[in-house]
Structure 1
Amino acid sequence: MHQDKIIGILTGGLMGSDPYHPSSWSGSSASFFHELNRQQRLAYAFGPELSRWYYYRRFAGCLHYNKEVWKRKLYMSKAYRDDLTDKARQLAHLHQIQHAQSASPPGHAVVQLGAYMNAREIYGNKMPIFSYQDGNIAERQTSSFTPKALRAQKTLFAEAIAYEKKVAHDMDLIFTTSEYLRQSFIDHYQLPPARVVNIDMGTNLSPFEHITSQQKDYRRKDILFIGKSDFLRKGTDLAIQAFEIVQQTYPQAILHLVGPEVKHQRRYPNPNIHFHGLLSKNNPQHIKTLESLFQHCAIYIQPSRYEPFGIAPIEAMMHGIPAVVTGEWALKESVIDGVTGAHAKLNDAQDLASKMLQLLQNPQLAQMGAQAQEWAKGHFSWEKTVSSLLAHIDNHPPKAALHAKPVRDTKSSAQKVSHEVSR
């Protein structure tokens, strides 16, 4: 068994460019690379960043009345992804110099997060290359939540899917965050099943270990919702509608909304709906608020209209809170219906309210909370995810071309590099 050191690449775009920034890949990038480093397998990590003027110029050429289309016309274009790959190539060459490597030596492997760029076009066949994915463009295209104006951009989708398919086929293995997504790559991108591996995902909040199902008071009717972005995609309006139905049975119930801006409270003046705003996991006061919510809330709800993965329900379950989620996508895997929570119908506030009441009225809710906590802690950790990834990499047959002489970048790195991230 060979044990390669990992060169990590955060592929940019909407995922971010700094592998260690708290907001990159919703915080998962830093958690992933820190765990790789803890297991002494990380060589270094970097991410390509294009200049502010680049974005000004490119966005000006993508004008559209629909903001989502305007944004996606840039981020989904092949030209943008090629530019990110070129920038990553420059950074890769600079790292080789900084680490006293005139060439990428045997004993290294590359793991790229996402598919905004293609590491195979940088490293060729000199070393094994893998990707770790939490979604793909094919899923975005087929989602009923995708705006009609965006779905109408058929040429854009065809170009983006073709690019992602090529990236997928260029990888030695694709790692996914769920079995649902694994099957999506197999079905949409015609990948052999053996080349797509589900390794799940960890959470980005260290659990408050003192919060256990035995210490919680499940007689409280406090309900938690976390959705830091996309008011409609996360189903915030559905959560509020369902809660007001639940209130007819439990007038004392309280809905805690974390993520949606406090300004939305003007639209929903119900005194039992508490808007906490965005709570940062890097702010000590916000952490105390989260701790209190995890301690006192009896159930969690996530009625998303589209959710490739969804970490928040897992974080809730880690604190003994059964979760009611939309029974679609990876959510139906992370929450076991009737065991660690319940599945609600897509875009159905009445069914969501019914499932919420079933849990709140369940005399075995504490037992369900204990099962949720045991399930989440046992299956969703970065240690487990990274260990699984490394086991597959270590057992993956090395290519014969691994020792091939690399193609050198003869241009001046100092002239080409606009941003470089290293740890």
Structure 2
Amino acid sequence: MTTSAELFERASRHIPGGVNSPVRAFKGMHRPPVFMERAQGAYLFDVEGNRYVDYIGSWGPMITGHADPDVLAAVRSRLDSGLSFGTPTEAETTMADLICEIIPSMEMVRMTSSGTEATMSAIRLARGYTGRDKIVKFEGNYHGHSDSLLVKAGSGALTHGEPSSPGVPAALAEHTVTLSYNDPDGVEACFEEIGDRIACIIVEPVSGNMNCIPPQPGFLETLRRVCNEHGSVLIFDEVMTGFRIALGGAQARYGVTPDLTCLGKIVGGGMPVGAFGGKREIMENISPLGPIYHAGTLSGNPLAMAAGVTLLNKLQVPGFHDALTQRVDTLCHGLKERADAAGVPMITQSSGGMFGIFFTSQSRVDNFAQATACNPEAFRSFFTAMLDHGVYLAPSAYEASFMSSAHTAEDIQLTLDAAEKAFATM
């Protein structure tokens, strides 16, 4: 039998770090990653035959479980017609109609091949539409790996941003202002000083890349107001939250309407896909209607559209998201009870189908500074013990976890039993 350790050693010969996306490397866990063979429902199965209750769900899109038979059937029905045409297809229009129906703020939508491409294109559109260069993002929010977004804060809130990765030009980073998430006063101060130069704000309305951090009351509302006052574009990065925390995403759950929205692989049923869209008056500036360029041979890929349309239709069953939220609440409440009983400082936070586990004595975590102040050693110990007991969590203390409709009461109980054993060793 081939082991994960052997596969990782082999992969490391020709793949940097042995993985094609850094979080898969288990670097912070001080162990080789687990190589998966297949997935079904709420479970992952590794190459050694072990089964895990999965709370990653391919980082969000597997909201009805892995290998959903309806989604797979939709892909199979298209497969014999070809993989990609590079031409328009009816499936793209069906998808666009469906997205715009579910998310009313998206009056027009353009498909992409990834969430990174969606956010990159939305920012270019906002800059072209406003004629401004500066953008505002928030510390701990991740919007893909395009140059404008791999920028960390300077020494003060309004100083020039600094590249957070080699290869990002300092001159480009100067156009990115990084503020603290959930700090409306900081946003107000920024716009008072340079609001007339800011093209857009881009934000995860629920942050899922410093674990799960929902917006504090008034934060998203402040973003909407300052953008209105200064003629800036408000972009919600709903790559994680879209269709997950509510059918209409975070904007439906929290009642704040952005100008542009970015979506990710959930609109492709888990296949490589993304989308961005919003107000018609802004979207009509995209080529070929307008001068702002965006293109992609695989944008609107017919297989991805077939999978996505099927999945999004399934999510419209009344009560689907309420049931998903209830599963998350049951799990989080049970985890907190068991941590308290074991004397382990830990809290959970959630929004709809997303949740996060923080090893901290703080009563809540609202921003990047608080998230990074949590105990990474405690998380590492917990993660390893949970993995050993058949529960697969995100291999990072700074990634959100996801529930699916395939998770049963028995799966949640198995998870809580594993957590009780894990806490007992900490």
Larger radius of gyration: 1
Q: TM-score, normalised by structure 2?
A: 0.29
Q: TM-score, normalised by structure 1?
A: 0.29
More contact order relative to length (CA 8 Å, sep ≥ 6)? 2
